[in-house]
Structure 1
Amino acid sequence: MKIELRAVTIAELVDGFADNGEQGVTGYGGDLNIRPAYQREFVYGPKERDAVIETVRKGFPLNTMYWAVADDGFELMDGQQRTVSLCQYVNGEFSVEIDGNPFSFHNLPKERQQRILDYELSIYVCDGSDEDKLEWFKVINIAGLELKPQELRNAIYTGPWLSDAKRWFSRRNPPAVQEDRHKLVSADPNRQEVLEIALDWFTGGKIEEYMDGHRSDADAQELWDYWQAVFDWVKRVFPNQDSARAKLMKGLPWGRFYNSHKDDKLNAAELEKRIVALIDDDEVENKKGIYAYLLTDNEKTLNLRAFDEKTKQSVYARQKGICPVCNKHFEFHEMEADHRIPWHKGGKTTADNCDMLCVADNRAKGGK
């Protein structure tokens, strides 16, 4: 692999800058692909973006960027956030504060504009095999804003499938989080997290295997159809998704629920009654676990209220350390609190519903 250091002025960089959305982002006279398939979306906020301009405006050194030779031009390997910030500023897309006043590039005095355009960027250009470039890409991205796992996968499994998948699951406000789906998904599409969730649910965790086998597919329609089916099912089974409910539903593994329970006979009206009762139940400490409980009957998802230390000490003293099951005496640390009447039969976490059992008897009872 050959690597050389080049000096590229900002004027050369922004020449021919074009952001065509799904069609890509280019600069450097059209010869630089600023957003290859493996690149993350633009994630700089105003603070970081303005800091780039301030660095250049004052003539301070900007971190080195990395390009790779590709076909008849180059593709940007590292430095997209800085590159886009510079191009957008010179293109007049935002202003920065200078001496307490906002200034767009076009409102700067000519000499200040020229100083920015003449600023030289340090660019390392890599020429080698795809494998060489991908390994280098991983190394140079260890520093700075750490890549998310799916962003790294996108660096490896490029192709038409990935390009189409990004259309549905990436960018800002993609279709995947529209139609109120954003209320149930706790992930950043800009950092490829929504795409990762969809793939994880659809493949049962075999993301790399699926992406490798489908990278040459013409589109990602199969994944998009699945995603829609998941949330259509959620809307049918749990139609109440007002703001209060959405807080409980957001971020739950809906795809896994769908995979396991899409064929279950579930009555939305009956489920709604149970949800209301469970929300009102003081014994249920993890309200977000209600949905998993209704589908699986696993009480552990509810994190039911446990007996506090004071109650356990009081009941132990009342029993004089005798286990009511085996009638043997035990030290306090050798016993566990047990609900005499279990929660699912209406039992509460109160002293009069508590027995202190020896560990063996309590575990044996719990296993029945």
Structure 2
Amino acid sequence: MKIDLRKIRIAELFDNFSDCGEQGVTGYSGRLNIRPAYQREFIYKEKQRNAVIDTVRRGFPLNTMYWAVADDGYELMDGQQRTVSICQYVNGDYSVEIDGNPFGFVNLPKERQQQILDYELSVYVCDGDDGEKLDWFKVINIAGEKLTEQELRNAIYTGPWLGDAKRWFSRTGAPAAALGSKLVNGTPIRQDYLETALDWLSGGKIEVYMAEHQHDQNANELWSYFQSVLNWVNLTFPNYRREMKGVAWGPLYNRYGKEKLDTSKLEAEVLRLMQDEDVTRKSGIFDYVLSGSVRTLSIRAFTDNMKREAYERQGGLCPACDEPKQKFDISAMEADHITPWSKGGKSIASNCQMLCQPHNRIKSGK
């Protein structure tokens, strides 16, 4: 792999600059792909963006950028945020505050405009095979703003499938966000929706799925699946609650999506559990009413005072142990519901007993 350090003037970088938003950004006489498929979308906030221009205007050095040779031109591997900030400013897309007043590029005196255009960027240009360039991409992104796991996957499995998947899942106002904003955590531009859909469909084997479909011409299967999951959720739990956002709906759909469910009965159970003060993890209710797994609810634990009272009441003896009974230190015992929570027992002092660790773990199936 060959790596060269070059000095690129902003005037050269901006030459034939074209910004089509999330559809693509190019510069450097049209030879530089500023937003390849594996790059994140523009995420700089105004303060960060303006700081780039202030650095350039003062003649201070910016961090080195990284390009990779691609066909007859280049792909920007690292430095998209700075590059877009610079080109958009010179293009007149926004103003920055100078000496207390807003100045767009066109408002600057000619000598200040020229100073910006003559500013030299330090750019490392990498020429190698795809594997070498991707390895380098991972290394240079260890520093700076850390890439998400899905952004790194996008760098490895770029291709027609990814381009189409990003159309559905990774753009501002993407269809996936419009459909799932109340049910899915994260933001499209940081690849959260794409990662969630892939995780659900692949059963957690995201890399395997992306490798198998890298060269597919579309991501219709993933988009169709995502729609099916969320439509099933809305039909199964039509009374929306904010606790529904962030639930792992995909695995539930995979297990119960084809079953005939009594939605009225499910709603009644959800309503009851929402009012149960012992259920501390309300988002786990939706899993519980389908699977029956109490662990999803994080049932309220007994307090230390309740445990001490029960321990003293029992004299340190475990009621589950056979005769002759052995006295345990409290540190070797664990609290247990006398009447199980699933049968109406509450996490109150009168329903607390202390069992030795072996018996408590046998009872709870740990």
Aligned partner of 1:175 in structure 2 is 175
Aligned partner of 2:28 in structure 1 is 28
Deviations 1:274-315 (A, max 9, x none): 112111111111112111111211111111122212122222
Structure 1 residues 292 and 96, CA gap change in structure 2 (3 angstroms): same
Q: Secondary structure at the match of 1:195?
A: helix
Aligned partner of 2:8 in structure 1 is 8
Shift of 1:329: 4.0
Measure, in 2, the Cα distance between the counterparts of 1:86 and 1:92. Answer: 10
On the 8 A contact 1:22/1:167 being kept in 2, the answer is no
Aligned partner of 2:307 in structure 1 is 312
Aligned partner of 2:48 in structure 1 is 48
Deviations 1:215-239 (A, max 9, x none): 1111111100000001000100111
Aligned residues: 363
Unaligned runs of 5+ in 1: none
Measure, in 1, the Cα distance between the counterparts of 2:129 and 2:356. Answer: 66
Deviations 1:317-368 (A, max 9, x none): 2233333343524124233322221111111122222223333433343349
Aligned partner of 2:262 in structure 1 is 267
On the 8 A contact 2:96/2:104 being kept in 1, the answer is yes
Alignment of 1:348-363 (within 5 A): 348-363=346-361
Amino acid at match of 1:217: D
On the 8 A contact 2:328/2:356 being kept in 1, the answer is no
Measure, in 1, the Cα distance between the counterparts of 2:213 and 2:71. Answer: 24
Measure, in 2, the Cα distance between the counterparts of 1:350 and 1:129. Answer: 66
**2:328 maps to 1:331:** yes
Q: Which 4+ runs in 1 deviate beyond 6 A?
A: none
Q: Secondary structure at the match of 1:63?
A: coil
Amino acid at match of 1:234: V
**2:298 maps to 1:299:** no
Q: Secondary structure at the match of 1:178?
A: helix
On the 8 A contact 1:6/1:123 being kept in 2, the answer is yes
Report the aligned-residue RMSD. 1.7
Measure, in 2, the Cα distance between the counterparts of 1:52 and 1:336. Answer: 58
**2:188 maps to 1:189:** yes
Measure, in 2, the Cα distance between the counterparts of 1:45 and 1:23. Answer: 20
Structure 1 residues 22 and 312, CA gap change in structure 2 (3 angstroms): closer
Q: Secondary structure at the match of 1:77?
A: strand
Structure 1 residues 160 and 22, CA gap change in structure 2 (3 angstroms): farther
- Structure 1 length normalisation: TM-score? 0.94
Q: Secondary structure at the match of 1:121?
A: strand
**2:340 maps to 1:342:** yes
Shift of 1:194: 1.5
Aligned partner of 1:366 in structure 2 is 364
Measure, in 1, the Cα distance between the counterparts of 2:128 and 2:335. Answer: 66
Alignment of 1:84-233 (within 5 A): 84-179=84-179, 181-233=180-232
- Structure 2 length normalisation: TM-score? 0.94
Structure 1 residues 316 and 177, CA gap change in structure 2 (3 angstroms): same
On the 8 A contact 1:184/1:249 being kept in 2, the answer is yes
On the 8 A contact 1:330/1:358 being kept in 2, the answer is no
Measure, in 2, the Cα distance between the counterparts of 1:202 and 1:14. Answer: 42
On the 8 A contact 1:293/1:299 being kept in 2, the answer is yes
Measure, in 2, the Cα distance between the counterparts of 1:324 and 1:195. Answer: 52
Shift of 1:49: 0.7
Structure 1 residues 315 and 129, CA gap change in structure 2 (3 angstroms): closer
Structure 1 residues 74 and 319, CA gap change in structure 2 (3 angstroms): closer
Measure, in 1, the Cα distance between the counterparts of 2:361 and 2:120. Answer: 71
Amino acid at match of 1:312: K
Measure, in 1, the Cα distance between the counterparts of 2:311 and 2:142. Answer: 56
Measure, in 2, the Cα distance between the counterparts of 1:292 and 1:357. Answer: 29
On the 8 A contact 2:186/2:192 being kept in 1, the answer is yes
Measure, in 2, the Cα distance between the counterparts of 1:349 and 1:317. Answer: 18
